[in-house]
Amino acid sequence: MGMEFLHPQYLYLLLLLIPLIVWYVVRLSRTQASFTLASTHAFKEMKPDFRAYMRHFPFLLRLLSLTLVIIVIARPQSVSSWEESETQGIDIVLALDVSGSMLAQDLQPDRLQAARKVAAEFITDRGNDNIGLVIFAGESFTQCPLTTDHKILLNLLNEINFGMIDDGTAIGLGLATSVNRLRESQSQSKVVILLTDGTNNSGQIAPLTAADLARSYGIRVYTVGVGTKGMAPTPVSTPFGIRMQNMPVDIDEKTLTEIAAMTGGQYFRAQDTEGLRQVYNEIDEMEKYLISVQNVTRRQELFLPWALAALALILLELLLRRTWLRNVP
């Protein structure tokens, strides 16, 4: 809360007090009374009484009253202002591929761990959103339903590992499960972020069929293909144990691009961990939650106390001039 003046330009009238003070000083110096006495011996021991010191007090009261009148004309007001904001989050489902190829180490330490780490950063930055988690490989299931309790969500994200589901890449089934989680959402913005490193080879639902289902529910799908181009070191089971072999990176970019285009989303390719982080940052910028801000200002007039004070000073000046400080001709 603060004080403002509705007409602050009137405060310049205070400058008129300067010539008024000058006039008073000049007038005082020119109107000194004088008379002749035969001797001033009788007045040597006399000291000026209190009224002599107070003879300028009425003029001071007049200056103060004029100052207060000018302040009243400028209309002092108390101003209280605040903001009323309303936020609406976005419902987001992260669909994460956990197939064996996600153990490839072209992203450090591997694709799955890099995807988990960057997804955790994304979740942490989206404090107002309902976020759910779906994982898929040869099958698909919901790891975490839509929730704003991101601590639980992050714990469940950290528990994801290869081997939780039969191996394979059921992109269509993963997307369909995500759509099922969002289809009854009342949010104005519903989003699926689907991350995979392969080609659909499992499940009973084709990726484009699932994309058409997402479109019918007004769900945008951002698809992310993760992996370098060419070959990537991948752990492979052999009769002699787990060995690292360079395996071809086979991402169905055509289908992923079509899924994004059908639903109003976008396809991204991430070839390393930093590239994956940039993908999530871009999606974060595109999917901002809604903020409605209303500025509220309340004003209250404050001129009455100033006006009463000015009136009191004027009455006091008149009273003093007519009584105790009256000038005798």
Q: Report if pTM > 0.85.
A: no
Q: How confident is the model at residue 51 (pLDDT cuts 50, 70, 90)?
A: low
168 lies in the same domain as 316? no
How many domains is the chain partitioned into structurally? 2
97 located within any domain: yes
Strands (E), the chain: 2-5, 76-88, 91-97, 130-136, 140-147, 190-196, 219-226, 231-238, 241-248, 267-270, 290-301
114 located within any domain: yes
Domain containing 268: what range?
A: 90-288
Sheet holding 76-88, edge to edge: 2-5, 76-88, 290-301
pLDDT in tens, 254-298: 999 999 999 999 999 999 989 999 999 999 888 876 655 555 667
Contacts of 86 (CB under 8 A, 6+ apart): 291, 292
Contacts of 79 (CB under 8 A, 6+ apart): 1, 2, 3, 4, 297, 298, 299
Q: How confident is the model at residue 172 (pLDDT cuts 50, 70, 90)?
A: very high
7 lies in the same domain as 116? no
77 lies in the same domain as 165? no
Q: Enter the tokens of residue 254.
A: 């055509």
Per the CB < 8 A criterion, the answer to whether 220 and 192 are in contact is: yes
- Tallying the residues shown for the chain, one arrives at 329
246 lies in the same domain as 102? yes
301 lies in the same domain as 240? no
At 38 the pLDDT is 54
**CATH code of the domain containing 231:** 3.40.50.410
Question: Which residues, listed in sequence order, are joined to residue 81 by a DSSP beta bridge?
Answer: 297
247 lies in the same domain as 314? no
Instruction: Name the average pLDDT for the chain.
Output: 86
- pLDDT of residue 157 exceeding 60: yes
Residue 146's Cβ-count burial label (10 Å; 0-12, 13-18, 19+) is buried
pLDDT in tens, 21-30: 888 888 877 7
46 located within any domain: no
Q: Would strands 91-97 and 130-136 be described as parallel, antiparallel, or unpaired?
A: parallel
4 lies in the same domain as 126? no
181 lies in the same domain as 202? yes
Helix, strand, coil percent values for the chain (each to nearest 5): 45, 25, 30
- How far CA 135 is from CA of 23, 124, 142, in Å, comes to 90, 19, 6
Measured CA angle at 72 (ends 69, 75), to 5 deg: 155
Q: Is the dihedral of CA 92, 217, 208, 203 positive or negative?
A: positive
- pLDDT of residue 328 exceeding 50: no
177 lies in the same domain as 60? no
101 lies in the same domain as 185? yes
29 located within any domain: no
pLDDT in tens, 100-141: 999 999 998 999 999 999 999 999 988 888 999 999 999 999
Look up residue 33 and give its amino acid.
Answer: A
pLDDT in tens, 299-313: 788 888 889 998 999
Note the maximum CA span of the chain: 140
246 lies in the same domain as 122? yes
35 located within any domain: no
What distance in Å separates the CA atoms of residue 146 and residue 3, rounded to the nearest whole number? 48
Q: Is the dihedral of CA 37, 42, 47, 52 positive or negative?
A: negative
310 lies in the same domain as 219? no
DSSP 158: H
